[in-house]
Amino acid sequence: MLIRKPDALYGTNIPSSEITPKDKWLNRRSLLTGAAAAGALALGADRLADVLSPTRTALAAGKLTTVKSQLSTTGEELTQLQDVTSYNNFYEFGTDKADPGHNAGILPTRPWSVKISGLVKAPKVLDIDSLLKLKPLEERVYRFRCVEGWSMVIPWVGYSLSELIKVCDPLPSAKFVQFTSYFDRKVEKWTSESNIAWPYSEGLRMDEAMNPLTLLTLGLYGDVLPGQNGAPVRVIVPWKYGFKSAKSIVGIKFVDKMPATTWNDLAANEYGFYSNVNPNVDHPRWSQKSERRIGQPFYAQRHPTLMFNGYGDQVASLYNGMDLKKFY
Ligand code: MTE
C-alpha cells in the first residue's frame, strides 16, 4: 500500500536549540565562495518577496497533461508556486536564493538531449520530447527537504526514473547511476563565483535509482519545469536531502563504483554520498531535527524532520544493516 497518510506535523514544541541558526546554513554557502558570497547572501532572503522571473510568470498554464499518482504524499498544504520558484539553490545561476529565479530563464532548454552512457547494452541519446512521451506523466506531491533546514511541499510532474532506466538497458555490472548537469560557462557565468568543480554531478545506488519514488521530473504545478527548478529535466529523490536531486540533466551514466559527487567532493565530512534525511544524524554544524516550511506563517513554520523525510515505509529497507551514522 503506497498511498501516504497525512503526518501529524503540527503543534510540536521544538526547542530553539534544535533550530538551525541562519548564520550556520549561510556558512554552507561560504564553503563555495568565501567571504564575498556570504556578503551577497545577506541580501537574499529580503529580496525574495519581489522576485518575478519571466519563466515563472509563464507558468500556471497547466501545459502538461498529468494523471494522479498513488505515490503522492497527501494531507499537507502545498508550498505556493511563487515560493517554489523564487527560493532556489541552483549555483550555476548564482549563490543567492533569489538568483536562479532572476537568471535561469536563459537556460537553452530546446533542443535538449540526455546522453545515456557507461555500463549499458547500447549507449544512446534521448531528446527531451521523447522523455516527455515515454510514459504518462504523473503528478506527485512530495515533501522536499534541503540540508540547510528548510522544506517545501511540491506537486512535481514526471514518472519513476526506473521507467527510463529500463529503456537504458543497464548491464548487471552497473551498481550506481551518475547524473551530470548542464554546464556552459558562457550561459552560466555565475559558475566562476564559486569553487565547485563543474559540471554539477550527483549519484545514486542502483536500487535507490530503481525505487519507484525516485522521480524523473519534467514539470511542477502542471507545467514544464521553470529554469530555476532544473529545466527541462531533473531527478527528485524525496527521502534524501535536496542536493541529491540534480537539475538540468544532460548525462546519465551507469557505473560499477560509487561516483564522485559535487557536495561530497567539496566537503566530504558534511555531505555524504547517501545524504538520507535523518533527524538523528546532525550536520557537523547544525541540528537536523527540525525544518522550516517555506511560505508558512512564522508561528507555524517549524516542523519536526521525519526519518527518510517521512518515506521510510517505502525506502528504509534499502538500508537494512547499514549504520546510517557512518553512511550519512
Ligand atoms: N543541481 C544543480 N545542477 N545545481 C545546483 O546548484 N542544487 C541542489 C539541487 N540540485 C543544485 C542542483 C540543492 S543544494 C538543492 S537544495 C536543490 O537542487 C534545490 O532544488 P529547488 O531549487 O528546485 O528547490
Distance 90 CA to ligand 1 centre (A): 5
| Residue whose CA is at the smallest distance from ligand 1 atom 2 | 247
For residue 33, the model assigns a pLDDT of 58
Quick: pLDDT tens for 127-157.
999 999 999 999 999 999 999 999 999 999 9
**Bridge partners, 240 (sequence order):** 276
Ligand 1 site residues (CB inside 6 A) read 88-92, 146, 181, 200, 229-230, 242-243, 245-248
Please give the distance, rounded to the nearest whole angstrom, from the Cα atom of residue 1 to the centre of ligand 1. 30
Residue 163, pLDDT above cutoff 80: yes
pLDDT at residue 212, as a whole number: 98
| Residue whose CA is at the smallest distance from ligand 1 atom 24 | 88
Contact yes or no for 223/61 (Cβ under 8 A): yes
CB 230 within 8 A of CB 250: no
Cβ atoms 153, 142 nearer than 8 A: yes
- Mean pLDDT of the region 25-34: 60
Cell of 240: 534524501
Q: How far apart are CA 302 and CA 144, in angstroms?
A: 14
Which distant-in-sequence residues (6+ apart) come within 8 Å of 60 by Cβ?
81, 221, 222, 223
Domain ranges of the chain: 16-319
Dihedrals φ, ψ of 4, to 5°? -85, 145
Q: Which CATH number fits domain 16-319: 3.40.50.450, 3.40.50.620, 3.90.420.10, 3.20.20.70?
A: 3.90.420.10
**Ligand 1 mean position, distance from CA 230 (Å):** 8
Omega before 54 within 30 of 0, i.e. cis: no
CA gap 225, 234 in Å, rounded: 9
Which SS3 state, helix, strand or coil, does residue 189 take? helix
pLDDT score of 308: 98
Phi, psi torsion values for 199, nearest 5 degrees: -75, 155
> Which protein residue's CA is at the shortest distance from atom 4 of ligand 1?
90
Q: Ligand 1, from 90, 236, 293: best to mutate by most atoms within 8 Å of Cβ? A: 90
Quick: pLDDT tens for 198-245: 999 999 999 999 999 999 999 999 999 999 999 999 999 999 999 999
